[in-house]
Amino acid sequence: MQKITTIAELRKTVRLWRQQGLSIAFVPTMGNLHAGHIKLVSEARKKADKVIVSIFVNPTQFGVGEDFESYPRTEVADTEKLVEASADLMFLPCTLEMYPNTASTTITVGKLSTIHCGAYRAGHFDGVATVVFKLFNMVQADIAIFGEKDFQQLAVIKKMVQDLNSPIDILGVATEREDDGLALSSRNGFLTRREREIAPKLYQALCQAQVSVIKEMDFNTIEQEQKAALEVAGFKVDYFSICRSADLQPATERDNELVILAAAKLGKPRLIDNVHFSKK
């Protein structure tokens, strides 16, 4: 596996692959890789001749008081995992390479960036959209692979690609979970032993809400009951929302394609999860 740190060297390698007629799949990450990330790499291997994985802890998507400085950075372990997963290239740029001192352009994906997590993390999705678009321009891949755990992030990226006519396909991959249902996340390592025992209740609440939706119970009642149950369990809930999967707006009983989105703090980490399904 090649390890590249500069845009110039990355483009040189990609140009050579293109001359050979090879297709490219891209998996952008912030490192501290776990089985969920490796699942994305495995899916990428099925979709293209070459797989590029980026590792960059993007400062512009972290707000004031968030965990940018403490976000786990595990380059040696990540490298070993990517070699084992048969990635072809690891792109590991520094902050100055990604954001030269003269950089002043930001991408905003309208209303979709201001709801749910966007309402609690001002500017977060602007940082996500901007860095992902920059990476797309650098890598020039045919397809990019993202996990569905951050369903809103995936929706923002799909909307951005559609609106800006980017020549890249976006594939979402189902969330990888622990045996007890907890969605894999780099932030799970911040949970205490007791919090780790409680954490699966977030996914359990989502699954219970899905059953209630299918039974055609009142959506507002479902949301309030599950919020209350999570608060009793020890979570500080930001939101628990039944939405249309197409645009993440509040769903009504007439909508069939749904996603239930949730975000809640449990001790230090903020956990996010979702279930998406067809009501009929």
Q: Are 23 and 50 in contact (CB under 8 A)?
A: yes
Question: Given 37, 116, 124, 276, which residue is catalytic?
Answer: 37
Please name which of 121, 33, 132 lies closest in space to residue 83, comparing C-alpha atoms.
33
How far is Cα of residue 154 from the mean position of the Cα atoms in its chain? 6
What residues are paired with 271 via a beta bridge?
264
What residues are paired with 169 via a beta bridge?
143
DSSP code of 71?
S
Contact partners, residue 133, CB within 8 Å, separation at least 6: 107, 160, 164, 166
Pairing type for strands 257-265 and 169-173 reads unpaired
Whether 124 is catalytic is no
Contact partners, residue 228, CB within 8 Å, separation at least 6: none
CB atoms within 10 A of CB 228: 12
Report the distance separating Cα 97 and Cα 66, nearest Å.
Answer: 23
Q: Looking at the annotation, which residues are catalytic? A: 37
